[in-house]
Amino acid sequence: MFTASAEYYDLIYSALKDYDAETAQIASLLRRLDPTCRTVLDVACGTGEHARLLAGAGFDVDGLDLDPAFIRIASGKHPAGRFIEADMTDFHIQRRYDAVVCLFSSIGYVRTLERVGQAFRCFRDHLAPGGVIVVEPWFLPGVLDPSRAVRQTAEANGLTVSRVSRVEIEGTLSRVHFDYEITDATGTRHAKETHELGLFTPAELLQRFQAAGLRAEYDPKGLTDRGLYVARVA
């Protein structure tokens, strides 16, 4: 998915996301839900920025992601953690965690409600007794504007990355088209990516939690105004 941009991901999002503030909210939430919470599995961990910061806040954090480049980057940031390349709908780790988190709308990448249910069952199966699941969803149906194009530019150490994104909607699927312009000492090059994410309503996701044997609550604001689900074994 991020085959063209994995090495530029942190640069791009350094100007778009406040990882420190988000991680502080997550850490506070986990400790409020369970003051003894210590072990965390970061599903679809990306480059491991949340994992690194959660570890810095005192948690024992492992991660998984489908993208091998992300696993390499995350492992370099947080060498004490175990990072594995795996699909969030079908993974098997010989460990159970006090918390399983899936952040930054990554659940949307499973694309269908059937696969959402498979992911939630995997999350449940990796919970320690009394554990908690935290899921940050993708945008709700009807929120994204296909007529809008958004440009972001970031610069550091002689590298400039400009990204234009636009969205295409087809039924319950959103396609996010990214066009990159990357300029460094060697010149300028271009790259493209298309990301597909499913569009799910809160009612649909709550039903999938329930079907997976989980009792979930939905906060429509969440960390970044995308909402947040908190679930435990029913």
**Amino acid occupying residue 233:** V
154, part of any domain:
no
Note whether residue 183 is domain-resident: no
CATH number of 113's domain? 3.40.50.150
Residue 120 resides in a domain: yes
Domain count, the chain: 1
Strand order in the sheet with 60-65: 83-85, 60-65, 39-43, 97-102, 127-135, 228-233, 214-219
Asked whether residue 80 is domain-assigned, the answer is: yes
Q: Which domain holds residue 42?
A: 16-139+200-233
Backbone angles phi, psi at 103, to 5 degrees: -110, 175
Question: Residues 6 or more apart from 207 whose CB is under 8 A from it?
Answer: none
Task: Give pLDDT tens digits for 176-228.
Answer: 999 999 999 999 999 999 999 999 999 999 999 999 999 999 999 999 999 99
User: In the predicted model, is pLDDT for residue 168 greater than 90?
Assistant: yes
Please indicate, yes or no, if residue 178 is contained in any of the structural domains.
no
User: What pLDDT is stored for residue 127 in this prediction?
Assistant: 98
> pLDDT tens digit string along 7-36?
999 999 998 999 999 999 999 999 999 999
Q: According to the model, what pLDDT value does residue 195 have?
A: 98
Strand pairing of 173-184 and 187-198?
antiparallel
CA distances from 137 to 2, 174, 190, 204, 205 (A): 19, 13, 30, 12, 9
Q: Per the domain annotation, does 1 fall within a domain?
A: no
Spatial CB neighbours of 141, under 8 Å, sequence gap ≥ 6: 172, 199, 200, 201
DSSP readout, 134-159? Answer: EE---PPTTTS-TT-EEEEEEEETTE
Domain annotation covers residue 151: no
> Residue 161 corresponds to which amino acid?
V
Structure token pair of residue 26: 């997550």
In this structure, is residue 158 part of a structural domain? no
Task: Output the pTM of the full model.
Answer: 0.97
Least Cα distance to 214 among 107, 137, 127 occurs for 127
